[in-house]
Amino acid sequence: MASVKFNQVTKSYGKQEVIQSTSFEIQDKEFVVLVGPSGCGKSTMLRMIAGLEEITTGTIEIGDTVVNKLPPKDRDIAIVFQNYALYPHMTAYENMAFGLKIRGMSKSVIEEKVMKAAKILDIEDLLDRKPKAMSGGQRQRIAIGRAIVRNPKVFLFDEPLSNLDAKLRGQMRLEISLLHKKLQATMVYVTHDQVEAMTLGDRIIVLNKGVIQQIDTPQNLYNHPTNQFVAGFIGSPTMNFMKGKIYQEDEIEVFISEDQSFRLSLNTVYGLNPYQNVILGIRPEHIFSSQTLLKNPLQFQAEVRWVELLGHEGFAFFDLGGQQLSARLRADELKDPPFSKKLYIEGERLHIFDADTGLNLM
Amino acid sequence: MKAFWNKISPYLIISPYIIHLGLFVLFPVIFSIVLVLHKWNIISPMEYVGLDNFQRLFSDRLFWKALWNTFIFILVHIPLQIVIALFLAYFLNEKILARSFFRAAFFMPVVISGVVITILWQQLYGLESGVINRMLISLGLNRVEWLSNPNIAMISIAIMATWKNVGLYVILFLVGLQTVPRSYYEAAEVEGASAWQQFRYITIPAINPTIFMVVILSTIGGFSLFIEPYIMTDGGPLNSTLSAMLYIYKQAFGYYHMGYSATLSIFFAIIIMGVVVVQKIFVENEEH
C-alpha cells in the first residue's frame, strides 16, 4: 500500500485550466473521497493518478515514486469505473483474470487469486456468468473483484455507484466501506453524491471549478465549512442561506430584512465589522419548533407555504425576508399548508459568510 | 369518411414499395422457379423439360469453372478487404490530422459508378501504357500482365474490387469501433495490456457483430461479381475471370437459354445461402 501526493499539480486543456495548482497528500491506507459538482475536475484528478490523463505541471507521487512519466500499468493501481467497464464477451472469471493473464501469471496462480477475491466479495457463484447475465450490483462486485485480484497499492473508484438504484447504492456503500477495513488499502473515491462522500471517506476533498475548497473529515466539513460553497454542498437537504448585514458590532444583530433580525451572542462571533454585508447560513435540521434544549434560540414567525412529508419527519418551506428556507421537523409538527408557525433557530449553529468572498467569518 | 381513410392510408403509404417488390423481386423469383422446368429462348413458346436443366448443370464444366473462379475471387477479396478496412478504420478512429478528409476520401470510390472505376482500373492495369506497369519499370522491375495472365487476372480484379468497396467497410468498422466504450481500453491499459493485446482481446471481440456483417455483405457482394470481369476481360483470358454471375448472364442474354440460366441462378442462390449459414454458425460459435 502507499500514499498519494500531489505537488502543485495543474491540468489544462489548451488555454482552459481545469485543475488549478493543487497540493495535498493522501495517507497510506486512507480512504479519501473527491467530491464536487459535475465538471469540477474530480474525475480528471482521479484519472491523473491512474495515468489516464497527463498532468500539465507539478508532480504526482505514489509511495516514494514520482509517477508523472509512468504508464498506468506501471503505477500499481486499479480503477473501478462508473460503467463497470467489464468486457462483455468474457465471463466474470475471465474479466477478473484478464490483468493477471496479461502479466503472464500461471493458470494455477490466477485461479488462486481470482477465487480468493471472489470469496472476499461473495461472488463465487457468479464467476461463470457474462456481464449481460448479471444485475448492476453484481457487475459492480465483479469490477471491484477485478481491481482487488492484483492487490494494487492504490484503489481508484470513479463514481462506481452512480448507475445503481438507491437501495443497492446504500448496500454497496456499506460493502465498499467494509472492504476498505478488510483490505486496509489506500482508496481514492470520486463521487458527486455528498451522502456517499460523508459515509465513506476518512477525509473528503471538496472541489469546485478545479479548485480545492476544503480537505477535512466529514464531521468537520459539516460543522465548520470554510466557505459558502462547502456549506451548501455538504449536508442534505442543502443549508439555508439568507442575506444580511452586521448592524452594530457590540450588539451583533444581523438583519435579514427590515422587520426580521437575530441577535448573536458575542462568544460565537469574531471580527465582524459594522455594516458588513454577510450571508447567514443555517441547516434545516437546526431550525426547531421548540426552544427547549436550545442554547441560543432565535425566534421567528414562519408562514409555511409548502410541506414535504417523509414518514417520520418532513420539511416545511417558508419565506423569510424574501428568501425561501426549509426546516426539518417531526411529521406530527406539520399540517396542511398554508399555516403560521413559531420556529427557533439554534444561534450556536448559525454560520456567517462574507457576502463578497463567501468565506466563513466565524 | 375519416375512419375509412385512417384504415386505408397505411396501405396506400406502403403500396409503392409493395408494387416494386412484386414487380421486380417476387415476380422474377417465381418466374425463375417456373423457368427451371422449361426451355425458353424468349421468342418461341416455353417447352417443359422437367429436370433436364439440372442434369445439364451438373455436367457443365464451364459453370463449375466459373463457380471456382468466384470462390477464388472471394477468398482473395474478403480477407484482403476486411484486413485493410479494419486497419484503416482503426487509424481513422484515432485523433489523426485531417481525419474527416481521409474518411471522405476512402468512401469516395463507393459512390462512384462501378463502370467508371472499372474503366479507370483497366487503364491503370494496361500492359504497355498502364501507370502501374510504368511505375514498375521505372523501379527497374518487370512488367506484369495484370489482365492477360490467366493466373493473375482474377487477383487483379479482386484488388480493384477491394479498392472500390473498402470505403464502405471502413465506415461500418468505424461505427463498430465507436460503439466500444473508451473505458474498456482504459481498464485494459491499467491492467497492463499492450496496444496489440487491447486490439486482440478487446476490439476484435467487441466488434464481432460488425465483422460478421462485413463478411456476409462482402460474401454476397463477391458472389455478385459481374461488372468488373464483364467490362475488363469479358471472362477471359481462358475463362480465368469468368464469374458465376457473368456466366449466368451470358447464358440468358448471350445464348437466350433462359430456362438453364434460371436453373443456374436458383442453384447459385442456394450456394450463397449455404455459405452464409455456415459463416453465421462459425461466428456464433466464436462468440460463445
Which grid cell is B153? Answer: 487476372
Q: Is the pLDDT of residue A254 over 90?
A: no
pLDDT digits (tens, 9 = 90+) for A325-353: 999 999 999 989 899 999 998 888 888 89
- Do residues A159 and A43 touch, judged by C-beta distance below 8 A? yes
| Cβ <8 Å between B201 and A73 | no
Residue A99, chain B, CB below 8 Å: the answer is yes
User: What share of chain A in percent tops pLDDT 70?
Assistant: 93
Residue A268, pLDDT score = 54
Residue A128, chain B, CB below 8 Å: the answer is no
Structure confidence at residue A164 as a pLDDT band (50, 70, 90) = confident
Residue A361, pLDDT score = 84
The arithmetic mean of pLDDT across residues B183-199, rounded, is 94
pLDDT digits (tens, 9 = 90+) for A293-327: 888 888 888 889 999 999 999 999 998 767 789 99
Structure confidence at residue A1 as a pLDDT band (50, 70, 90) = low
CA distance B107 to B167: 4
Name residue A7's beta-bridge partners.
Answer: A59
What's the one-letter identity of residue B250?
K
| Cβ <8 Å between B184 and A87 | yes
CA distance A250 to A263: 11
Residue A346, pLDDT score = 87
Q: Is the pLDDT of residue A219 over 90?
A: yes
Burial (Cβ within 10 Å: 0-12, 13-18, ≥19) of residue A271:
exposed
The arithmetic mean of pLDDT across residues B225-238, rounded, is 90
CA distance A244 to A345: 15
Q: Which among A52, A89, A150 has CB closest to B186?
A: A52
Structure confidence at residue A264 as a pLDDT band (50, 70, 90) = low
Long-range contacts, stretch B260-265, CB < 8 angstroms, 24+ apart: B260/B39, B260/B53, B260/B56, B260/B57, B261/B35, B262/B31, B262/B32, B262/B33, B262/B35, B262/B36, B262/B53, B263/B35, B263/B36, B263/B53, B263/B54, B263/B56, B263/B57, B264/B57, B264/B63, B265/B32
Least Cα separation, residue A4 to chain B (angstroms): 17
**Helix (H/G/I), strand (E/B), else coil: A59:** strand
| Cβ <8 Å between B190 and A102 | no
Of A152-156, A248-252, B151-155, B187-191, minimum mean pLDDT range: A248-252
The arithmetic mean of pLDDT across residues A159-168, rounded, is 88
Residue A323, pLDDT score = 78
pLDDT digits (tens, 9 = 90+) for A170-208: 888 998 999 999 999 999 999 999 889 999 999 999 999
| Cβ <8 Å between A81 and B190 | no
Interface mutation vs chain B, best among A102, A140, A151, most B CBs within 10 Å: A102
CB pairs under 8 A between A and B: 60
Work out the end-to-end distance of chain B between its first and last CA atoms, rounded to an integer number of angstroms.
55
Work out whether strand A16-26 and strand A240-246 pair parallel, antiparallel, or are unpaired: unpaired
Interface mutation vs chain A, best among B190, B197, B201, B204, most A CBs within 10 Å: B190
Q: Nearest residue on chain B to A102, judged by CA atoms?
A: B193
Nearest-5° Cα angle at A355, A245 to A362: 80
| Cβ <8 Å between A99 and B181 | no
| Cβ <8 Å between A85 and B183 | yes
The hierarchical CATH code for the domain B35-112+159-287 is 1.10.3720.10
Report the complex ipTM.
0.83
Structure confidence at residue A266 as a pLDDT band (50, 70, 90) = very low
- Do residues B160 and B118 touch, judged by C-beta distance below 8 A? yes
What's the one-letter identity of residue B128?
E
User: Chain B neighbours among A 49-78 (CB < 8 Å)?
Assistant: 50-52, 71-73, 77-78
Q: Of B187, B210, B188, B192, give the one whose Cα is nearest residue B90.
A: B210
Model pTM score: 0.80
More confidently predicted of A304 and A251: A304
User: What share of chain B in percent tops pLDDT 90?
Assistant: 74
Which grid cell is B217? Answer: 455483405
| Cβ <8 Å between A87 and B205 | yes
Arithmetic mean of pLDDT over chain A: 90
User: Chain A neighbours among B 162-201 (CB < 8 Å)?
Assistant: 181, 183-184, 186-193, 197, 201
The arithmetic mean of pLDDT across residues B28-53, rounded, is 92
Residue B166, pLDDT score = 92
The arithmetic mean of pLDDT across residues A214-235, rounded, is 95
Q: Nearest residue on chain A to B208, judged by CA atoms?
A: A89
Question: Residue A236: what are its φ and ψ, rounded to 5°?
Answer: -135, 125
User: Using omega within 30 degrees of 0 as the cis cutoff, is the peptide bond preceding A131 cis?
Assistant: no
The arithmetic mean of pLDDT across residues A52-76, rounded, is 94
| Cβ <8 Å between A89 and B183 | no
Interface mutation vs chain A, best among B179, B180, B184, B191, most A CBs within 10 Å: B191
Least Cα separation, residue A210 to chain B (angstroms): 23
Of A53-57, A98-102, A258-262, B97-101, minimum mean pLDDT range: A258-262
- Do residues A297 and A265 touch, judged by C-beta distance below 8 A? no
Q: Nearest residue on chain A to B183, judged by CA atoms?
A: A85
Q: Which among B190, B201, B206 has CB closest to A79?
A: B190
Work out whether strand A186-191 and strand A203-208 pair parallel, antiparallel, or are unpaired: unpaired
Chain A positions touching B205 (Cβ under 8 A) are 87, 89-90
Chain B positions touching A50 (Cβ under 8 A) are 186, 190
Residue A147, chain B, CB below 8 Å: the answer is no
Instruction: Centre a 10 Å sphere on the Cβ of residue A95 and count the other Cβ atoms it contains.
Output: 27
Structure confidence at residue A28 as a pLDDT band (50, 70, 90) = very high
Name residue A319's beta-bridge partners.
Answer: A303, A324
The arithmetic mean of pLDDT across residues A127-134, rounded, is 94
Which grid cell is A136? Answer: 448492476
| Cβ <8 Å between B186 and A87 | no
pLDDT digits (tens, 9 = 90+) for B238-251: 999 999 999 999 99
Domain ranges of chain B: 35-112+159-287
Instruction: Centre a 10 Å sphere on the Cβ of residue A62 and count the other Cβ atoms it contains.
Output: 22
Arithmetic mean of pLDDT over chain B: 91
| Cβ <8 Å between B186 and A77 | no
Of A140-149, B67-76, B95-104, minimum mean pLDDT range: B95-104
Residue A262, pLDDT score = 67
pLDDT digits (tens, 9 = 90+) for B66-89: 999 999 999 989 999 999 999 999
Q: Of B145, B153, B146, B161, give the one whose Cα is nearest residue B84.
A: B161
Chain B positions touching A44 (Cβ under 8 A) are none
Q: Which among B183, B193, B287 has CB closest to A81?
A: B183
